[in-house]
């Protein structure tokens, strides 16, 4: 996903001169050594990563979105397995996007990629 973001950022920088900033929490996956080694490349493409302060969920908008998703789209549901949860989350995000009139995009991750 981040490689895709970097490619889009590079194109945007060429067309508009604007950089792209992604805000992330301090999850270990975001600071994994292989990811850290990509930061300078991404910056050269116009993609910058900004990290929220540790333990600051109120500043992380995705936490608020997850709370709304759990309270409205997933409330009271039981799931047989992880796949059922995954589909319910995807459907919930899509429904919230339609009601809120905003675009949602789904990314497919490659299991062969470290970043």
Average pLDDT of the residues in 63-71 = 87
pLDDT, position 56: 67
76 φ/ψ angles, rounded to the nearest 5 degrees: 75, 0
pLDDT at residue 113 greater than cutoff 70 = no
Distance in angstroms (rounded) separating the CA atoms of residues 72 and 63: 14
Q: Predicted confidence band at 53 (pLDDT cuts at 50, 70, 90)? A: confident
pLDDT tens-place string over residues 70-103: 999 999 999 998 999 999 999 999 998 899 898 8
61-66: Cβ within 8 A, 24+ apart: 62/25, 65/96
pLDDT at residue 16 greater than cutoff 50 = yes
pLDDT, position 115: 45
């Amino acid at each position: 996903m981040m490689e895709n973001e970097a490619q889009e950022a590079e194109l945007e920088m060429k067309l508009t001169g604007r950089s792209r900033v992604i805000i992330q929490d301090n999850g270990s996956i975001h600071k994994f050594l292989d990811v850290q080694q990509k930061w300078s490349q991404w910056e050269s493409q116009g993609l910058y990563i900004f990290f929220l302060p540790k333990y600051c969920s109120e500043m992380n908008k995705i936490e608020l979105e997850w709370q709304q998703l759990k309270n409205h789209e997933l409330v009271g549901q039981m799931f047989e397995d992880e796949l059922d949860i995954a589909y319910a989350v995807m459907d919930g995000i899509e429904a919230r996007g339609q009601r809120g009139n905003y675009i949602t995009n789904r990314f497919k991750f490659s299991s062969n990629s470290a970043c």
